[in-house]
Amino acid sequence: MNIGQAAAASGVSAKMIRYYESIGLIPKTVRTESGYRVYSDHDVHTLRFIRRSRDLGFSVEQIADLVSLWQDRERASKDVKAIALEHVGVLERKIRELQEMASTLKHLARNCHGDARPHCPIIEELANDDVTPPATKPDAKFGALGKASAR
Amino acid sequence: MNIGQAAAASGVSAKMIRYYESIGLIPKTVRTESGYRVYSDHDVHTLRFIRRSRDLGFSVEQIADLVSLWQDRERASKDVKAIALEHVGVLERKIRELQEMASTLKHLARNCHGDARPHCPIIEELANDDVTPPATKPDAKFGALGKASAR
DNA sequence: GCTTGACCTTCCCATGATTGGAAGGATTAC
DNA sequence: GTAATCCTTCCAATCATGGGAAGGTCAAGC
């Protein structure tokens, strides 16, 4: 099977398959004489595993761990669970953060006439100067979340 | 006021202030003879506006619009409200997406013993092959969301 | 056998907001 | 006068993904 067929069968784009190979998430495949990558059903199965993991928002790093646990017959389920729960924690923190933004904005928008006049509580709140601003550099970094939907 | 002081007073890092200037979100400042950027209280006010907008998850592009509406005395509040509500829509879509991930994972984790044995519903679900995978390239791209917390 | 189109290859670039760091000049405090 | 702390510009990295160019390969139809 060529990369395009593997992509169609797994739901992972050919671009991403090559990328995953380049970063070592999946092993280098066999090639035809002319250099085409060749995939087996087993490879497609792995790619689906990866895709489902991405759909759940896991980072590539976490997926690497999940894949190796998957292939380890002597894995401890607690190791899998730990990865999953840690990710749930990240997701929930992120959700709360977005919910705070959304509720603040909805509250402000509710009080905005939304007509042709300039008066606007939203702008006023943004321009509000008596709130404490210099809460610089709090904690860890986020990322990756939000790309799953871009696929 | 130097850039460092403006950064401390506004909560926007010096790096980001330079970046915002480079992309045209804020105008080029006056410089001292030796090339140092000089900021006024008014500039700091603008930076705070930007920071508060970022805290609410607006993209730089939206912030540019908000800033120009802010400075427009004849703005229509509906233009502001439209930006805010569109952003609320994006936030809520994102929240729903993350909630689905989290609830799926929590459900799976609940059914995982989390002990030393290999049996694990989480891995099994990821490896589950009878689900439809090739839902490729759905809709728009997300981004920016999630960087607010990284500041 | 030859052309055409659909595939494949590698390589580089862009995204978005942000941080890190290097190399070098300016200012300030002692 | 010197050391420490600022400032400057420039380049690179993050993270996962897509876009596209330049060129090679393969299969089908004529």
CATH number at residue B8: 1.10.1660.10
Q: How many residues in total does chain B contain?
A: 151
B61, part of any domain: no
Mean pLDDT of B103-107: 97
B98 vs A85, A95, A135: nearest CB:
A95
Collapsing DSSP to helix, strand or coil, B38 comes out as: strand
A101 and A134 together in one domain: yes
Whether residues B93 and B43 fall in one domain = no
- pLDDT of amino acid A132: 60
Tell me which chain B residue has its CA closest to the CA of residue A72: B118
Give the DSSP letter of residue A29. P
Domain region containing A86: 77-150
* Separation CA B118–CA A1 (nearest Å): 32
Looking at the 3D structure of chain B, how many domains does it have?
2
**Separation of alpha carbons A86 and A57, rounded Å:** 12
A85 and B127 Cβ atoms separated by less than 8 Å: no
Residues B9 and B47 in one domain: yes
The answer to ipTM > 0.90 is no
Whole-angstrom Cα distance, residue A20 to residue A49?
13
Give me the CA B135–C1' D28 separation in Å, rounded: 29
Does residue A38 sit in the same domain as residue A90? no
Q: pLDDT by residue (tens digit) across B1-29?
A: 999 999 999 999 999 999 999 999 999 99
Instruction: Please check whether residue B70 lies inside any domain of the structure.
Output: no
- For A14-19, the CB contacts below 8 A with 24+ separation are A17/A47
Between CA A48 and CA B11 the distance in angstroms is 44
Contact yes or no for A49 and B126 at CB 8 A: yes
Tens digits of residue pLDDT in A85-144: 999 999 999 999 999 999 999 999 999 999 999 999 999 999 987 766 554 433 333 333
H-helix segments, chain A = 3-10, 14-22, 41-55, 60-70, 77-110, 121-127
Q: What is the pLDDT of residue B131?
A: 67
Is the minimum distance from the CB of B149 to strand C below 7 Å? no
Residues of B in contact with A9 (CB under 8 A): 133-134
